[in-house]
Amino acid sequence: MSLTLLNVIFAVVVAIAFAALNAAYLVWAERRGAGRIQRRPGPNINGPFGLFQPPLDGLKLMAKQLTIPGGADKILFVAAPVLSMFPAIMSFVTIPFSEMIVAHNMNVGLLMIFAFASSGSMALLFAGWSSRNKYAMMSAVRSVSQAVAYEIPMLITAITIVLMTGTMDLMEIVRQQGPSILHWNIFPLLTNSHNLLMPFSFLIFFTCTLAETNRAPFDLGEAESELVAGFHIEYGSMGFGLFFMAEYANIVIGSCLTTILFLGGWHPPLPFLGFIPGVVWFLLKIYILIATFIWIRWTFPRTTIYGLLNLSWKILIPISLFNLLLTAGLLKVF
Amino acid sequence: MLDFIIILPLLVVGAGAIALMLLASMENLSEGSTALVSIGIFAFAFAVQLMVSVSGNVAPYETAFSGMLTASTFTKVAGLIILACGLFSCMIAQTYFTQNKFSSPEFYSLMMFAASGMLLLTMAAELITLFISLEIMSLAIYVLVGYDRSRIKRSEAVLKYLMLGAFAGAFFTMGAALIYGGAGSTRFALISKYLATNSFLESPVLVAGTLLVIVAFLFKVAAFPFHAWVVDVYDGAPLPVTGFMATGVKTAIFAVFANFIVLDNGMKGVWVDYLFYVAVFTMFAGNLIAIGQNNLKRMLAASGIVHSGYLIIALVAVGTENFTGGVIIFYLAAYAAATLGVFTALAYLGGTDERRDSFDDFKGLAKVRPYTAAAITIFMLSMAGIPPTAGFMGKFYIITDAIRADQMLLAVLGIVSSILSMWYYLRLVIMMYFKEPEESFEVSGVSLAPVGTMILAVSVFAIGFYPVFL
Amino acid sequence: MNPSLFSADGLVGLIFLLTIAITIAGGIIACNSERLVRAVAGLMICFIGVGALYYFLNSPFVAMMQVLIYVGAVAVTISFAIMLADPEQSSQHGPINALSGPFGFITAALLTVGLALIALKTMWGDEPKVNDGSVKIIGTQLLTDYSMVFELVSIVLLISIIGALVIAREGRKS
């Protein structure tokens, strides 16, 4: 008990570093990717390929003054960005990067990630409300209603996986997906339920991850054309920086979860590739997913808020529920 | 399978509530037919409850559903009373809604849900089940109290009830947790077994836990020091709901209270001393409040406090061995018949927006509507405890029981309180018979309530002459 | 035996005390803050503290459910409801009566002392673990021994939904 707790504290420190690094360089990747997709160079002045751009951006943000708008609720205004980092950091604790690299494996690991992810929407609400800005408020309400709506199909899909594997232990879920690509949960043939709809489940989960992290095409919360800049409109300096970091940390967490649940975690696609360490495969998988995130963002137009909510409540939830029942039935049959 | 037979009436009421929600989607469903359907469901459940035979006179904790529920003659009769209360409350509602327009099918549906919570409560033999049934009942009643949002009085009532009810719920949960900590189980049967080998008083956790649980019960039956909410809430709630609350809730809580207090002799011994004071103060506080009231509903609410006092006397006298609860159940039946009787009469006499509600409004009723006045008189006499009504028999049994349990002082105080209570019961009778009528007591709408009044007036005597449960 | 502060156990103990402090602080903020939204924030802190306490009690499942349901759902729902409140609402104190002053304090003090006494006087034995608290065992228990209660909870939810709809359907007229 005592040692695991120390482990956790240590892991939190590492996780903060990991999240910061990821946020910094994902921004770079995003801007370079956007440049490529839009046929322009992107940041390429500072350092080779513009690689010094993120630390310079960070310095710029830190050097700026933190302004608090008049009439804002000061305590909540300051607390909200910190609070938004909290769930992302805590979730890193239980994510297994490989058989060896995990801070604290829990038998309710999956539940823990969802628990903290769901508390993230409180930060958005506080940020939006305490800013005393109509746009911030509206976008916070939008973001939260979106997060609540997409949490449901996401949880149902996760429960489908829990049904198939019989555990909420993330490591155990990954272990059951070895040794080759055909045993991954996304591929229905060799998993124990033989459910042919699993690829659709994967799509649902991936879509929900996009929506939960407020990414395009579901970034209604920060639709610039209508809401200026979203719930963090009044934040400058590191307040904005923290929200930014939290957003990218959430993307990483979402990709990790998708990898663990559907793409076999640290397992190589083919058994003979096992000489490469698991953590490499894991990171490779999540960065492919993140690249997909970026790709989708710069190629899909934004949806409308009604379309967004309808998609969740009228399409994704029924399909995922159906798939849950089907999986339960198939498990009983086979 | 046997398990399901025990809860068959519960299933009927619960399924009825859901079926009613589905029926509500029909466009051409009139208000009257909703009421008739719900009366039918309650009547059917009553018949089912009557037929479900529980083998003989079972000791407490003959269990079903792996120890979650218990069934005995006691719970069966308590269930019968609750279902009858639901039936007559629906009759009241049917008439009431011809004059007060805020009805919708959900009203009856919630009434049935509340009744199913009450039925569960009488049978609960485990603390978690008890808590959830308590919440099922309370939630439904909260909504019913605040059903008519157009009047500020209702909102006041629901807010008071909700806040204090939540407190009571919190006390109960805390108590249940402490009891679990002390006895290692939430099942009555296992707690009882634990207490048989370990002394109750040596475990402070158990003492504190039972104290908190008893506080929650006392709150729900509006016993002294937790009686202050009852007058405003009963006054603010719509008439059918007040009737249902006054009778159904009280029956359910006293049934479970009795089930709980007979857990262990040692435990009961400790609380009897305190319940003694609670009973005395409840009776006299209730009487004092009732004497000061000018409004009929408020008077009935206050008299409800007094009746809770009598019932606590019965609890004090309850024995752990051969527990049948006959006295309690008999008194509850008598009280329910009389109270619901007055409410059925008020349902058609009250007029639009409960216009007639004070003593003065009923001046000279006997000259205009002699039968109704006679029925109300019967109910009042029964509540005051004058022979040969059911109320008299109920009080008689309670007093003799108290004497048998060596609680002489309590018996005497009970009689004193009974005499005091005649002040306000007979005041209404005097108003009706010895004053000149000031209005014609026009009643609009053909309705079931007069029928209900007559049935209840007859049953006040029927219950009085039918003491079989002893 | 008191472990030294700088041992692993001492650090865990420190974190335990911190958790309790967070819980109490959250509760105090929730009760005493003048702005509704801050009260919700306090409530959230309190919930998280309680969740951490469950974790210390060796039941991570309940801890996670506490965070998932209370912070993720209940607190969000409450804040949705009160977001429409004006952030600059003036503090509205009711008339100060005896209950909010000394009597309230005495009651609270009595409760605290009473509960503390109970905790100290009881002989807390080393109870054996009921089960390992895993999701599987909890699921099995819910669907066998506690199936009745489990089903009843759905009725509670049904009533809440119906009640909410009934109350929200029509506004107050007068």
- The β-bridge partners of B70 are B63
Q: What's the mean pLDDT in C148-154?
A: 89
- State the pLDDT at residue A1: 47
Please name the chains neighbouring A, where neighbouring means 3+ C-beta pairs under 8 angstroms: C
- Is the pLDDT assigned to residue B231 strictly greater than 70? yes
- The rounded distance, in Å, linking the Cα atoms of A274 and C105 is 67
Q: What's the mean pLDDT in C59-77?
A: 85
- Contact between chains at A119 and C48 (C-beta distance less than 8 A): yes
For B108, the token pair is 């009856």
List chain C residues with CB under 8 Å of A73.
35, 37-38, 87
Tens-digit pLDDT profile for residues B238-265? 888 999 998 999 999 988 888 888 777 6
pLDDT averaged over every residue in chain B? 83
Helix pair A134-165, A109-130: axis angle to 10 deg: 170
Degrees, nearest 5: CA angle C24-C28-C33: 155
- Contact between chains at C44 and A137 (C-beta distance less than 8 A): no
Best of C160, C166, C173 to substitute, by most chain B Cβ atoms within 10 angstroms, is C166
Hey, is the C-beta of C154 within 8 angstroms of any chain B C-beta? no
Is B92 in contact with B344 (CB distance < 8 Å)? yes
Is B372 in contact with B453 (CB distance < 8 Å)? yes
| CB nearest B205 (choices: C122, C144, C152) | C122
User: pLDDT band for position C139 (50/70/90)?
Assistant: confident
For B337, the token pair is 């018949």
Q: What's the mean pLDDT in B36-53?
A: 86
For B418, the token pair is 């009974």
Hey, is the C-beta of A137 within 8 angstroms of any chain C C-beta? yes
- State the pLDDT at residue B85: 92
Q: How many residues does chain C have?
A: 174
pLDDT averaged over every residue in chain A? 82
List chain B residues with CB under 8 Å of C155.
14, 113, 116-117, 136
ipTM confidence: 0.86
Phi, psi angle pair for B126, to nearest 5°: -160, 145
- Contact between chains at C8 and A3 (C-beta distance less than 8 A): yes
List chain C residues with CB under 8 Å of B10.
none
- SS3 per-residue string spanning C92-159: CCCCCCCHHHHHHHHHHHHHHHHHHHHHHHCCCCCCCCCCCCCHHHHHHHHHCCCHHHHHHHHHHHHH
Count CB neighbours of B375 within 10 A. 23
- The rounded distance, in Å, linking the Cα atoms of A200 and B465 is 71
Q: What per-residue string of b and e applies to B109-146 under the rule 16 or more CB within 10 Å gives b? A: bbbbbbbbbbbbbbbbbbbbbbbbbbbbbbbbbbbbbb
Phi, psi angle pair for B406, to nearest 5°: 60, 35
| A72: alpha, beta or left? (left if phi > 0; alpha if psi -120 to 50) | beta
List chain B residues with CB under 8 Å of C112.
none
Tokens 């939540």 belong to: B166
Count CB neighbours of C75 within 10 A. 24
Tens-digit pLDDT profile for residues A233-247? 778 777 888 888 888
Domain boundaries, chain B: 30-464
For A204, the token pair is 């649902």
- State the pLDDT at residue B134: 92
Q: What's the mean pLDDT in B77-88?
A: 90
Hey, is the C-beta of B25 within 8 angstroms of any chain C C-beta? no
Q: What's the mean pLDDT in A86-99?
A: 82
- Contact between chains at A107 and C60 (C-beta distance less than 8 A): yes
Q: Which of A166-175, B45-54, C66-75 has the lowest mean pLDDT?
A: B45-54
User: pLDDT band for position B62 (50/70/90)?
Assistant: low
List chain B residues with CB under 8 Å of C122.
181-182, 203-205
List chain A residues with CB under 8 Å of C11.
2, 5-6
For A111, the token pair is 């539940």
Count CB neighbours of A196 within 10 A. 11
Tell me the torsion sign for CA atoms B208, B213, B214, B215: positive
- Is the pLDDT assigned to residue C173 strictly greater than 70? no
Tens-digit pLDDT profile for residues A189-209? 766 667 777 888 888 899 888
CA distances from C9 to A11, B246, C34, C53 (A): 18, 56, 39, 16
Radius of gyration of chain C (CA): 21
- State the pLDDT at residue B320: 56
Identify which has the larger pLDDT, A106 or A324.
Answer: A324
Hey, is the C-beta of A125 within 8 angstroms of any chain C C-beta? yes
Phi, psi angle pair for B64, to nearest 5°: -135, 165
| CB nearest C172 (choices: B68, B126, B150) | B150
Closest-CA residue of chain C to B113? C159
Closest CA of chain B from C74, distance in Å: 16
Q: What per-residue string of b and e applies to B209-235 under the rule 16 or more CB within 10 Å gives b? A: bbbbbbbbbbbbbbbbebbebbbbbbb
- The rounded distance, in Å, linking the Cα atoms of A213 and A230 is 13
User: pLDDT band for position B151 (50/70/90)?
Assistant: confident
Of A191, A199, A207, the residue nearest A152 (C-alpha): A207
- Is the pLDDT assigned to residue B445 strictly greater than 80? no
| CB nearest C83 (choices: A116, A125, A167) | A125
- The rounded distance, in Å, linking the Cα atoms of C72 and C66 is 9
Identify which has the larger pLDDT, A186 or B57.
Answer: A186
- The rounded distance, in Å, linking the Cα atoms of C159 and B421 is 38
Please name the chains neighbouring C, where neighbouring means 3+ C-beta pairs under 8 angstroms: A, B
User: pLDDT band for position C90 (50/70/90)?
Assistant: low
User: pLDDT band for position C46 (50/70/90)?
Assistant: very high
- Contact between chains at B65 and C155 (C-beta distance less than 8 A): no
- State the pLDDT at residue C174: 42
User: pLDDT band for position B470 (50/70/90)?
Assistant: very low
Closest-CA residue of chain C to B208? C118
Closest CA of chain C from B434, distance in Å: 39
Is B390 in contact with B461 (CB distance < 8 Å)? yes
- Is the pLDDT assigned to residue B358 strictly greater than 90? no
- The rounded distance, in Å, linking the Cα atoms of C23 and A85 is 20
Is A211 in contact with A312 (CB distance < 8 Å)? yes
Collapse the DSSP code of A38 into the 3-class scheme (helix H, G, I; strand E, B; otherwise coil) and give the result. coil
User: pLDDT band for position C50 (50/70/90)?
Assistant: very high
Phi, psi angle pair for B295, to nearest 5°: -100, 135
- The β-bridge partners of B69 are B64, B124
Q: What's the mean pLDDT in B381-392?
A: 85
- The rounded distance, in Å, linking the Cα atoms of B382 and C132 is 58
Hey, is the C-beta of C165 within 8 angstroms of any chain B C-beta? yes
CA distances from C163 to B107, B159, B336, B459 (A): 10, 14, 26, 34
Of B409, B425, B424, the residue nearest B376 (C-alpha): B425
List chain C residues with CB under 8 Å of B16.
none
- Is the pLDDT assigned to residue C156 strictly greater than 90? yes
- Contact between chains at B146 and C167 (C-beta distance less than 8 A): yes
Closest CA of chain B from C29, distance in Å: 20
For A143, the token pair is 């973001």
Domain boundaries, chain A: 2-333
Phi, psi angle pair for B63, to nearest 5°: -105, 155
Touching C: B residues 178-207, CB under 8 Å: 178, 181-182, 184, 203-205
Q: What's the mean pLDDT in B225-232?
A: 86
Residue B435 CB partners (closer than 8 Å, separation 6+): B363, B364
State the alpha helices, DSSP H only, in A95-236. 109-130, 134-165, 170-175, 198-212, 224-227
Q: Which residues of chain C approach chain A closer than 8 Å at the C-beta?
A: 8-9, 11-12, 15, 35, 37-38, 41, 44, 48, 60-61, 64-65, 67-68, 71-73, 75-76, 79-80, 83, 87-88, 134-136
- The rounded distance, in Å, linking the Cα atoms of C73 and A120 is 11
- Contact between chains at C76 and A144 (C-beta distance less than 8 A): yes
Count CB neighbours of C12 within 10 A. 18
- The rounded distance, in Å, linking the Cα atoms of A137 and A127 is 8
- The rounded distance, in Å, linking the Cα atoms of B213 and B358 is 37
Tokens 């026009």 belong to: B442
User: pLDDT band for position C6 (50/70/90)?
Assistant: low
Identify which has the larger pLDDT, A39 or B443.
Answer: A39
Of B169, B190, B165, B168, the residue nearest B179 (C-alpha): B190
- The β-bridge partners of B124 are B69
Chain A with chain C: Cβ pairs closer than 8 A: 92
- State the pLDDT at residue C1: 46
Of A159, A145, A267, A264, the residue nearest A205 (C-alpha): A159
Residue C161 CB partners (closer than 8 Å, separation 6+): none
Is B255 in contact with B121 (CB distance < 8 Å)? yes
- Is the pLDDT assigned to residue A170 strictly greater than 80? yes
pTM of the model: 0.86
- State the pLDDT at residue B273: 78
Q: What's the mean pLDDT in B207-235?
A: 88
Tens-digit pLDDT profile for residues B263-278? 776 677 777 778 888 8
Q: Which of A180-184, B165-169, C44-48, C125-129 has the lowest mean pLDDT?
A: C125-129
User: pLDDT band for position B59 (50/70/90)?
Assistant: low
- Is the pLDDT assigned to residue A3 strictly greater than 70? no
Identify which has the larger pLDDT, B363 or A257.
Answer: A257
Chains B, A in contact: 3+ Cβ pairs under 8 A? no
